Chain A
Amino acid sequence: MANLLWLQGGACSGNTMSFLNAEEPSACDLVTDFGINVLWHPSLGMELGDNLQQLLRKCISGEIKLDIFVFEGTVVNAPNGTGEWNRFAGRPMRDWVRELSDAADFVVAIGDCATWGGIPATAPNPSESQGLQFLKRGHGGYLGAEFKSKAGLPVINIPGCPAHPDWVTQILVAVATGRAGDLALDEFQRPKTFFQSFTQTGCTRNMHFAYKVSATEFGQRKGCLFYDLGCRGPMTHSPCNRILWNRVSSKTRAGMPCMGCTEPEFPFFDLAPGTVFKTQTVMGVPKELPEGVDKTGYIKLTGAAKAAAPAWAEQDIFVV
């Protein structure tokens, strides 16, 4: 039996909604099949007021063993570093987060806000938000770069806006069943099993990417969304086209550009006007190229791909 505690900071509850919709395994499977005991969760917990405070204090003291501490949302530090804007169970949430993180065997950050600050931490960041161990790309965050939980791991980051439900439950199962040692993490502490490939991996528009045929409007069946509509699929680490959403689709399959929500910079360009759903270019060439591709190679490839493009690549084709 592994005790799990889930708290929310500066959050929209999107990751809770995602978690509760998990299918493989489901949130119920965690309890019935994988021995996870949910001590408390904002949408599931029964304790209120003093009872909840007692539960949290017992977790901190060790009277109740805290195996997995899950945090969703940012750590809110406003105003002036006090955290008073986000009080919970009688004190600033950030104080609970610090002490519970120190007490837990494993700490798991769910969603962009908990991992690197996400939308709340976008400039000018009025809530002085931080992720648990990152602020955007900067290592450190609220707990500091050196933080390790009792089991010796840093915060396990499962980003996304929201994170896919199955990424959440599969990682929780791995941790709860003693397989945390098998989790290889990347430089941003994301499990490589999910975040080593790209959103583009498995995208049904890859043939349009290869032949440089662009989608020029949302929902078009033909064309790649990278060239004009700001799709970040080639630069974003996620399995969105390997582990499909609701088992059937993904943004790109539905004609919607990837927004890069598993990367620390999300939302990109601080949501400045003209930067969302529009590929940023310099002298007609995309400012950001697919990872590992240089400008010269990209230009050469474009010429060759266009010259080789078959007629069907320019026609409507089902990509869902």
Chain B
Amino acid sequence: MALNAEESGRLAALLGGHAEQVTARWTEIVTGSLRGRLSQAELRRQVQDLHSAIATTAGQGVVDLSAESSGELRAALTELSRGRARQGFSASETTISIFALKDVLAELVQKDGGTNALHDYIAFSKLVDELGLFTFESFVRTRESLIADQAEQLLELSTPVVKLWEGVVAVPLVGTLDSARAQVVMERLLQTLVDTGSPYAIIDITGVPAVDTQVAQHILKTVVAARLMGADCIISGIRPQIAQTIVALGIEFGDIATKASLADALRHVLRLTGVETARRQPRRDV
């Protein structure tokens, strides 16, 4: 797929000789495809970077994208696709920035019209294809790493363990509970129990949209594990529909205390620990 020394020499001459014209036409074509989501000046800068990278690489002789000498070109392409991926452009909007070079080259070759114009154009075209594929691949790679980062952040964000009282911690569960999240919640809760020495934990499921047998199984496992370690768990925040689902599915919570609200659960725990929750006396007018 690589260009030989002769071809790349002609490519370098073509690009170097008409530098201004090439970047102008290239920018013009790409602008149309991006529908004004990127400023003209920035686009021009990107195109100039690419142009100089390609021209420099071609000037060095044989152009082979996988070779050592094409490092600068690869870096320029990777930077372009990474930037586009982060700015939320689609894959075709990104690769078209590269494929636009074909049109530019076609016009140039047609005008100069040497004896081996067709042969040159086909060779250049193959190179541009290669560049496009490389861009597409790094675009996808950037997107994948973005998604992986976000999934991890979501996992981190969604499972806080809060201290509610001396010796009482609470886990407000929000969102659907799958196996991976349940595992994280379980580990974090148990670790917090050990770290703080709290003998009571409240699992609040107000934010869990649906409780099926699998979710119930995860919660039960957490409770049993906490018991093995010597802590007691209370489940709170059971909404009416969820109570109905639990009964309909035949899920047994056994002797695990369940409360309707977090406040009830806290009051229950405080009563167990022997803390007096004094009711405020109504103020009497003198």
- A and B physically associate: no
Listed in ascending order, the chain B residues whose CB lies under 8 Å from chain A are none
Listed in ascending order, the chain A residues whose CB lies under 8 Å from chain B are none
